[in-house]
Homo-oligomer: A and B are copies of this chain.
């Protein structure tokens, strides 16, 4: 079932593929992009486009969470980010942006972000942010880390969160604690069982971890950790990485097997990484994702809080940062609506992200996301 390679005597490694190595093959049919549906649904929540935002402060403020919701996607606030720690986030971000404009070294920008995150989380700040999204009437989602999920979740639910995202670089169903002096680790299964809202959890990187996470009762599983070339550096720092095409395919296999195991429980697979262009969104779905978690591609939006900078929350880790703070493509200037739906003057797949997805589905003859997961693929190797 798996394609194994001998990398030396007595040791095999599995061949794995990135989205850049696969391409979609048209089928013998075509259709009009007007005849294509991109809707999907998680629990009772229905969305026009398979878009979940990566919970980084660089793209998600309460305001952009509302805007994404109004445009048919799901915005996810980071409940442990700047909006949870600072009363005046705009000022904090301005300092970061100003430093970048003055040519600060990469390490200085990381340090500045680390310092902004050194402030404690204040429950009243993050619940206030959640309430702002709630008031706008869109679906409300927030992200917590496994470490602080137990502490923060009650407050978030109280403020109106409807979908909870439990997300770390790598999240497993089984966190082993050996040192009895440490805090009890999160038991995801009982945690989810006690909640009334659907939980999306991850990232996972392989079939087995995805399967175990599905068995905890999660409504959705995140594949990947938001990596995009040049920004995240988990591979450089930890040596860990699973190319996204393979990781998505494996999680989709777990979804299928879990569906069979449970006689019908469908857990959504949300791909979080390696997406740079609209073509990569199409490839993620084609590999089996139900939706994509977008980070860097949204940072070019005029409304993005990062104002031309992008980073993931791993950039703020106090002792081992694993994301750079980087400027985004300068020559794309669009509002969020145009970024998602066009029209575009950009020939590089950076604008009209979901119009492009519709067109990709139409040109290959598919009419909905679920069907499109079966489209033919080629691989360069």
Q: What is the interface of chain A, defined by CB distance below 8 A to chain B?
A: 1-3, 5-11, 13-18, 22-32, 34-35, 105-108, 110-111, 114, 169-179, 182, 185, 204-209, 212, 233-243, 245-250, 252-253, 256, 277-283, 286-288, 315, 318-324, 331-332, 342-349, 352, 355-356, 359-360, 363-365, 367, 376-381
Contacts and interface: CB of A to CB of B under 8 A. Distances in A.
A15 to B, nearest CB: 6
A294 B284 CA distance: 32
Interchain residue pairs A-B with the least CB separation, the first 6: A8-B249, A236-B349, A239-B282, A239-B279, A16-B378, A9-B253
A182 to B, nearest CB: 6
B315 A27 contact: no
Nearest to A146: B30
Most B C-beta atoms less than 10 A away, residue of A27, A246, A331, A347: A347
A237 B277 contact: yes
Given A6-B2, A179-B34, A381 B111 contact: no
A107 B346 contact: yes
A377 B236 contact: no
A25 B235 CA distance: 11
Taken together, the copies of this chain in the complex come to 4
B323 A347 contact: yes
A50 B253 CA distance: 38
A148 to B, nearest CB: 14
Given A13-B379, A176-B365, 16 more contacts: A5-B17, A5-B381, A7-B246, A7-B249, A10-B256, A11-B288, A14-B376, A14-B377, A23-B235, A23-B239, A233-B348, A236-B278, A240-B282, A241-B378, A320-B352, A321-B347
Contacts of A318: 343
Given A13-B22, A345-B110, A287 B321 contact: no
A331 to B, nearest CB: 5
A238 to B, nearest CB: 4
Given A15-B381, A25-B242, A30 B345 contact: no
Contacts of A233: 347-349
A26 B206 contact: yes
A378 B174 contact: no
17 contacts: A3-B5, A7-B377, A8-B246, A13-B22, A13-B378, A13-B379, A26-B172, A30-B171, A30-B175, A32-B175, A107-B332, A170-B364, A237-B279, A239-B281, A240-B282, A246-B378, A322-B347
Contacts of A107: 331-332, 345-347
Contacts of A379: 5, 7, 13-16
Contacts of A288: 11
Given A28-B212, A30-B174, A170-B26, A6 B7 contact: no
Contacts of A343: 318-320
Contact of A174 (B3, B28, B176): B28
Contacts of A25: 14, 205-206, 240, 242
B209 A7 contact: no
B356 A320 contact: yes
Nearest to A284: B239
B279 A240 contact: yes
B381 A242 contact: no
Contacts of A360: 237-240
